[in-house]
Amino acid sequence: MIELPETFVIAQQVTKTLQGKRIAHVVANQTPHGFAWYTGDPANYNNLLAGKTIGTAAAYATNVEIQVEDMLLVISAPLRYHPAGEKLPKKHQLLVEFEDGSACSVNVQMWGGMFCFHRDEKGGFPDYDLAKTHPSPLTDTFDRAYFDGLFEDGSDKTYAKAFLATKQRIPGLGNGVLQDILWTARIHPRRKMGTLPAEEITAMFEAVKSVLRRMTDLGGRDTEKDLYGCLGGYKTVLSKNTVGQRCPECGTMIVKEPYLGGSIYYCEMCQKL
């Protein structure tokens, strides 16, 4: 799975590097994965895409939408570019080879979709369809009024982590980018939303906007790779890279623990419970 900053970066790179390339051959589901999803029969992807030319790409939450003439290829998993002559991976869930000898591959990690359908059809995939109808935090449309509208009955009993990263309230904001957003806002992931005063709600909104923008502008996070296999330039404060290190703000040791089906990272001093 990829999250919003990396999706945006990869979509830009796809347009820059792949636009105009003609597809020679496609292999889908060569290495079966229990959490890799396709549209219809993946064996038919070659018939749908071979001979067609890559157009532009766009980012929708965790989905990179690639125009391929009359088709759309929507990918929500790490996508890698292989220049002509580079050895291709033996294991992959999707391999797209181009007539110039270059290729792109997808290797699903936790889970991911590789959907191929006619551009006049609706996607039919909840996360993708939702992302196309909701404003991105990277746009001005995602303003304070919109953010306040995310609160609903029962939100006061919802934990900060769950409020931001579940139920697709903010498509593309997942458990990965969540950590630095909450640290920047100085909010513990276990805090219930009903305990946050107005100034902390403001801090949360501003952190969603500013942290996601910095992550995107710097080419993604240093825990994730882009289209070319390079780590992003945004250095995470709270992640697998920094657990056990000291908080850059106060010097307290960064903590990692399981919570709500995933891991949380936090500073006990900066993010008091």
Domain extent at residue 208: 144-267
Same domain, 61 and 30: yes
Is 70 exceeded by the pLDDT of residue 120? Answer: yes
CATH number of domain containing 231: 1.10.8.50
Same domain, 230 and 183: yes
Segment 56-94, tens digit of pLDDT = 999 999 999 999 999 999 999 999 999 999 999 999 999
Give the mean pLDDT of 228-247.
97
Give the mean pLDDT of 182-205.
97
Beta strand pairing status for 36-38 and 112-118? parallel
pLDDT at 168: 86
Domain boundary among the residues 82, 99, 133 is at 133
Q: Tell me the residue type at 160.
A: A
Which range among 78-87, 130-139, 172-181 shows the weakest confidence by mean pLDDT?
Answer: 130-139
Q: What predicted TM-score, i.e. pTM, was given to this entire model?
A: 0.94
Same domain, 129 and 194: no
Is 90 exceeded by the pLDDT of residue 265? Answer: yes
| Overall domain count for the chain | 2
CATH number of domain containing 31: 3.20.190.10
Confidence label for 131 from pLDDT (cuts 50, 70 and 90): confident
pLDDT at 24: 98
Same domain, 61 and 85: yes
pLDDT at 154: 87
Residue 138, in any domain of the structure: no
Residue 273, in any domain of the structure: no
Residue 193, in any domain of the structure: yes
Same domain, 77 and 119: yes
Same domain, 167 and 253: yes
Based on the number of CB atoms within 10 Å of its own CB, is 10 exposed (0-12), middle (13-18) or buried (19 or more)?
Answer: buried
Beta strands in the chain (DSSP E): 23-28, 36-38, 54-60, 63-68, 71-75, 79-82, 94-98, 103-106, 112-118, 254-259, 262-267
Confidence label for 123 from pLDDT (cuts 50, 70 and 90): low
Structure tokens at 164: 């931001």
Closest CA to 204 of 217, 215, 188: 188
Same domain, 52 and 86: yes
Residue 77, in any domain of the structure: yes
pLDDT at 124: 67
For the chain, how many helices (H) and strands (E)?
A: 7, 11
Collapsing DSSP to helix, strand or coil, 207 comes out as: helix
Give the mean pLDDT of 102-127.
88
